[in-house]
Amino acid sequence: MQETGLGVLLQHLREKRGLSLRELGQLSGVDHAYIYRLETGEKEAPSEEVVSKLVRALKAGKRDADMLLYLASHPQTDAEVVRHMTSDETIPNEVLAMVSGASFRGNRPDYVKLIARARALLAENDVPE
């Protein structure tokens, strides 16, 4: 099984709250085995209803909730970019969409550089005229 961006974020948020899979399952009303399959990449595209239940149980903020919803509908998003997003909460979600939407041939991209470029592009567009 290949690691998924959704799985990385879901596990990060669960561990951040100090919850076991069973505890998250009980709080959310989502089967803990299904949550495990989401975290490991065996399952990739939960319904919006399942994501909403998980968001509530995790008490996820707007940024994290939006990321979970995005990743649920974009399973091809590389887990490594999600790791960068979770390690720096100042990175806006628009950067996730910009970076994950890029396609590459050959070597794995340098996400640190791509995120910096995407942030610079967003900053340029925010300049008032």
Are 78 and 2 contacting, i.e. CB atoms less than 8 angstroms apart?
Answer: no
Structure confidence at residue 65 (pLDDT): 95
Domains of the chain, first to last: 5-125 (1.10.260.40)
Amino acid at site 57: A
Residue with tokens 């960068």: 84
Give the Cα separation of 54 and 35 in Å (integer).
9
**Dihedral of alpha carbons 55, 60, 61, 66, sign:** negative
Interval 94-118 mean pLDDT:
78
Q: How does pLDDT run across 6-65, given as a tens digit for each residue?
A: 999 999 999 999 999 999 999 999 999 999 999 999 998 899 999 999 999 999 999 999
Q: What are the Cα distances from residue 86, in Å, to 10, 20, 21, 101?
A: 11, 19, 20, 18
pLDDT at residue 80 tops 70:
yes
pTM to 2 decimals?
A: 0.85
Say if residue 79 is exposed, middle or buried (CB neighbours under 10 Å; 0-12, 13-18, 19+): middle
